Amino acid sequence: MKDFRFWGLLPAHVMMALTLIVPILIIVAVSFATRGAYGGFEFSFSTEAYRQILFNEGWTGELEFNPQYLLIIGRTVILAALTTLICMALAFPVAYWITLQGRTARVILLFMVTLPFWVSMIVRVYAWLIILGNEGVIEKALKLTGLVTDIDTLLFNSGAMLVGMVYSYIPLMILPVFASIEKLDPALIEASHDLHGSRAVTLRRVILPLCWPGLAAGAILVFVPCLGAVLEPILLGGGKIMMMGNLIQMQFGGARNWPFGAAIAILLMVLVMVFLLLNGLRATRRAMEEMT
């Protein structure tokens, strides 16, 4: 027990240093290395991996602008942002409604919100594959209405990925939002009405501002994993409509271009850091706490 302060923290720090911090530094190094002849990489300083994000190298070494990867990066950011916004729009009313219920109902409903989250992620994404798939539930329903007769496929587009991501991450939005609404003193809402604020005014000027910390925490919890999504683009996007997550994965899998994969990973990390900094440290800490 002599200095528990030291060796109590030691395992945690050694582990994080060896399996996370040092490896990330290695990624940085690899992103500046050159591609090995048989996959992997060779250490010789080069910015080729980063150049490759924007340019194609022609036969004679001339650089030709190539928007392909920029498109993937843009799509990733937009889809992650859209997922976050949709999650907010869905989670807020639902969480608010749950807080209005009685004690027991509240516990049960909150449990019901988190329940799907306990089910394996891959199973949940797979479920949407069935629903949106050929001859799936939605396609059949649409055909029954007679409005649509010829559907190529509902899968393999950005919309399908969006649905999958919202479905995957919505509980991470509801929990912090619920916590912040529950903390809201009902007397504040009554005070707003007492001071002649309508329901709309009260929502806009009292409820939403006071629940903003919860929404911000939820935004972090949803946006960050969305930026790095892998399963949704592979399964629901069919691997053709890519996001940064599966682009990175490809470089370490089939494509075997480690430096390029490392460069994209670094870029992804930078995007996350910028987003977290924009949100502020306080919101980030709060989000980490809301995880549980």
Cβ contact 176:218 at 8 Å: yes
Q: Shortest approach of other proteins to residue 212 CB, angstroms?
A: 18
Q: Shortest approach of other proteins to residue 107 CB, angstroms?
A: 8
Within 10 angstroms of residue 241's Cβ, the number of other Cβ atoms is 18
Q: Please, what's the b/e burial string for 136-173 (b: 16 or more CB within 10 A of its CB; e: otherwise)?
A: beebeeeeeeeeeeeeeebbbbbebbbbbbbbbbbbbb
Q: Shortest approach of other proteins to residue 271 CB, angstroms?
A: 9
Q: By C-beta, is 1 or 37 nearer to other proteins? A: 1
Q: Shortest approach of other proteins to residue 69 CB, angstroms?
A: 16
Q: By C-beta, is 145 or 292 nearer to other proteins? A: 292
Q: By C-beta, is 63 or 97 nearer to other proteins? A: 97
The residue written with tokens 């050694």 in the block is 14
Q: Shortest approach of other proteins to residue 119 CB, angstroms?
A: 5
Q: Shortest approach of other proteins to residue 158 CB, angstroms?
A: 19
Q: By C-beta, is 59 or 111 nearer to other proteins? A: 111
| Dihedral sign computed on CA atoms, order 237, 82, 175, 278 | positive
Q: By C-beta, is 92 or 213 nearer to other proteins? A: 92
Return d(Cα 176, Cα 198) in angstroms, integer: 26
Q: By C-beta, is 63 or 201 nearer to other proteins? A: 201
Return d(Cα 188, Cα 205) in angstroms, integer: 11
Within 10 angstroms of residue 83's Cβ, the number of other Cβ atoms is 28
90 vs 85, 94, 153, 161, CA distance in Å? 9, 7, 26, 17
The residues near 263 (Cβ < 8 Å, ≥ 6 apart) are 31, 49, 50, 52, 53
